[in-house]
A and B are shown apart, each in its own frame.
Chain A
Amino acid sequence: MSEAEESSSYPPIDPVSFDLIIVGTGLSESIIAAAASAVGKTILHLDPNSFYGSHFASLSLEEITSYLNSPPKSITAAASSSDSDYAVINLIQQPLLSDAELISCDSVDESTFLLENSRKFNLDLGGPRALFSADKTIDLLLKSGAAQYLEFKGIDTSLVYNANEGLVNVPDSRGAIFRDKKLSLKEKNQLMKFFKLVQQHLGDNEDGKISEEDMESPFVSFLEKTGLPPKIKAILLYAIAMVDFDQENGEVSKDLLTTKDGIDRLAQYSSSVGRFPSAPGALIYPIYGEGELPQAFCRRAAVKGCIYVLRMPVISLLMDKVTESYKGVRLASGQDLYSHQLILDPSFTIPSTQSLSPKGMVARGICITRSSIKPDVSNCSVVYPPRSLYPDQVTSVRALQIGSNLAVCPAGTFVLYFSTLCNDADEGKKLLKASMKALLSLPVSGNTEIILQSDSEDKKAVVLWSVIYVQKLTMSKFEAISSTPTPDGNLNYNDLVDATEKLFNQMYPDEEFFPKTTSPEDSTDDDDDNGIIMEN
């Protein structure tokens, strides 16, 4: 069955009028579908794709290749008309992703292997992404009931890159500091002392508080004041507090993190370590990839009555001829449907209105390798702080390696995700390439020999396939026709969850975002079924 045949074979959608129509099944759209369904709104949730997740999807190797090579075309329907009771305005879809550069190794054996195992890959379009065990996204998964459809595993270790030593462990707990072989005794003591300071501040005792003045000052100044050496400072700023921009270069420093926010991030990180006994570090990752998250919320919504139609593009909007207010949508199938409100995924724009103001971009990369970047470690996160790769590197690069025990790739392979914020595509791609080259041996097009046999010190993991692309960033927007945010440049989902909750509250100011009380029909769900499931 071709997709077109399938969508045209759909029966007409019934009913034709809803409280809310949502286009796109990305994470934010799916959370809103679940939240609005939970408070009794009638919802139609559409997606032009044959898969769930929009820009948060996890795709097979073939799917992601064709998706990145030919992103969804701008929809061009018949010219706007007003033959019906409504003014019909065509909807324009502009791909968020661009500048894709795909490289695969020339080895015939490996290419065959990749092709044959295409469906064993679940590659995240919006990676790298993971959850902190103690972050609010976990609370949302529990509160919404989405957690019961998901399983997680812990990320084994967090690493930070520096040009001299390569990958070093992030000393993120007492045990990790104690075991660390690369820290001197003095450094260990300094770090312990600093963590103690933070702990005192977070405690109930008024005596141990950091002064108000310090709390409002830049975190980097505070760290300097405590006399921590540059290496430790970089780890705290970029690998634990996860700061994006260089904090120590006056000219380019944007968004200096305050001590208050820095302490909050440290607290989140440290309360994540050990929250789940089977998660060795602060981070966890969903089995089968991040695309499971939006699907879990969609299932929650479906259970509450939300209607799902994939492979169904919306081609135009129906507006009131007089008031010019939104009334409904026209589907590719020709059917007209009506709703009080409409949410569009951020790749859609309406011709007559201002397009979503871009907030910069994020460059993303994916590599498939035959070996781990760190021996004996399958899943790990890596941060390359500003200036660690080259002097004018102003943003952090984040990477995440996921192995086959998370069911995102066939046995014997690993998937690495990279991302960094950037102002333009060239800058972002240059930085990602440098971060890949620092740890991996990339295939050189035209060169059939894989530089494996050279027994040099350079035993880097060999890349079988890689892609680099650039994604536009936009924020959410609340109007009669609202937009959800794009995947952001962060490692976790907290900002997205905040923006989504805010959008929900704007749309439904009198409704609670996932009320605590569960309806009687949920009573079959055992309470202990609602926990986060972790694989050992």
Chain B
Amino acid sequence: MPSRRRTLLKVIILGDSGVGKTSLMNQYVNKKFSNQYKATIGADFLTKEVQFEDRLFTLQIWDTAGQERFQSLGVAFYRGADCCVLVYDVNSVKSFDNLNNWREEFLIQANPSDPENFPFVVIGNKIDIDGGNSRVVSEKKARAWCAAKGNIPYFETSAKEGINVEEAFQTIAKDALKSGEEEELYLPDTIDVGNSSQPRSTGCEC
């Protein structure tokens, strides 16, 4: 039985401001990168069709829209996520230390039915900066944290150079799909009725 859960997958990207969440999304979906950083304005969500075993899915990747800056993402943002991507900047210890807070915040707000097995993916971004010389969080340290949190898949990327971004999102998509299929389906069959929203004749239909 086809259902919304199996064709539309919601992925949310969390992490401190400035770690490259929007850039990663843009690199993956639009193959674009902008060097000019400004706190996210105008980013909402991006969608991408992905194929798995002859089936097409729509990956809906939600940006924080800047609401993470003062830890003010509402519960609505987290609802119904099929995969949560945690991003830090390998050149910033604080952004790595905060992964734990973001993970906990996600588990509290999204309240997934099986928190032990909810799929996270961790991304260490900006490996290109200064040829890697300004790096302060080692891959070993990051991998150790991921292992301790239930073997979270880990990727090191450069959104700027497009390094490893595709690979990371393939895992994200695969895990989202698995989680979407296992989820209790208490909200089946979404119907988009936007088309019938045009004003109708105002006649009394009784």
Contact = CB atoms under 8 A, between A and B. Distances in A.
Interface stretch (B69-77, B122-130, B145-153): B69-77
Given A267-B204, A270-B205, A275-B196, A533 B74 contact: no
Interface in B170-206: 186-197, 200, 202-206
A17 interface: no
B2 interface: no
B76 A535 contact: no
Nearest to A150: B76
A311 B189 CA distance: 37
Contacts of B202: 202, 267, 271
Interface string A504-515: 000000000000
A411 B186 contact: yes
Interface string B11-55: 000000000000000000000000000000111101100000000
B40 to A, nearest CB: 9
Nearest to B108: A119
A142 B111 contact: no
Interface in A248-294: 266-267, 270-271, 273-278, 287-288, 291-292
Given A6-B71, A270-B206, A532-B197, A288 B76 contact: yes
Chain A interface mostly: mixed
B206 A534 contact: no
B15 to A, nearest CB: 16
Given A298-B74, A308-B70, A172 B193 contact: no
B137 interface: no
Contacts of A177: 206
B206 A174 contact: yes
A431 interface: no
A147 B75 CA distance: 17
B92 interface: no
B200 to A, nearest CB: 6
A278 B187 CA distance: 14
A38 B33 CA distance: 25
Contact of B197 (A173, A529, A531): A531
Nearest to A296: B76
Given A202-B204, A303-B41, A535 B67 contact: no
A531 B70 CA distance: 31
Given A298-B74, A299-B65, A312-B70, A199 B204 contact: yes
A199 B202 CA distance: 9
A528 B206 contact: no
Given A138-B197, A202-B204, A531-B195, A288 B101 contact: no
Interface in A497-536: 521, 524-526, 528-536
Contacts of B188: 535-536
A51 B192 contact: no
Given A277-B196, A312-B70, A528-B192, A404 B186 contact: yes
Contacts of A198: 204, 206
B119 interface: no
A310 interface: yes
A1 interface: yes
Interface in A106-160: 119-120, 134, 138, 142, 147, 149, 151
B37 to A, nearest CB: 14
Interface in A1-20: 1, 6, 10-11, 13
A270 B205 CA distance: 6
Given A202-B202, A278-B191, A531-B192, A303 B46 contact: no
A449 to B, nearest CB: 33
A155 to B, nearest CB: 15
Interface in B42-97: 42-44, 46-47, 65-67, 69-72, 74-77, 79
A151 B190 contact: yes
Nearest to B41: A305
Interface in A422-460: none
A311 B67 CA distance: 13
A309 interface: yes
Contacts of A52: 74-76
A238 to B, nearest CB: 17
A407 interface: yes
B189, B191, B194, B206: which has the most chain A beta carbons within 10 Å? B206
A115 to B, nearest CB: 15
A533 B192 contact: yes
B75 A295 contact: yes
A199 B71 CA distance: 53
A160 to B, nearest CB: 16
Contact of B67 (A308, A407, A530, A531): A308
B194 A142 contact: yes
B197 to A, nearest CB: 6
A51 B46 CA distance: 26
B190 to A, nearest CB: 6
A266 B204 contact: yes
A134 B193 CA distance: 13
Given A267-B204, A295-B75, A305-B41, A119 B191 contact: no
Given A276-B196, A308-B72, A532-B197, A288 B79 contact: yes
A278 B44 CA distance: 28
Given A142-B194, A535-B191, A307 B65 contact: no
Given A52-B74, A149-B76, A534 B204 contact: no
The 10 closest A-B pairs by CB, nearest first: A531-B194, A195-B206, A295-B76, A199-B204, A302-B65, A52-B74, A308-B72, A310-B72, A309-B70, A305-B41
Given A52-B74, A276-B193, 10 more contacts: A51-B75, A142-B194, A273-B206, A310-B72, A524-B44, A532-B192, A532-B193, A532-B197, A533-B191, A535-B190
10 contacts: A6-B71, A52-B76, A138-B197, A142-B197, A147-B194, A295-B76, A309-B72, A525-B44, A531-B193, A532-B194
Interface of B: 41-44, 46-47, 65-67, 69-72, 74-77, 79, 101, 111, 186-197, 200, 202-206
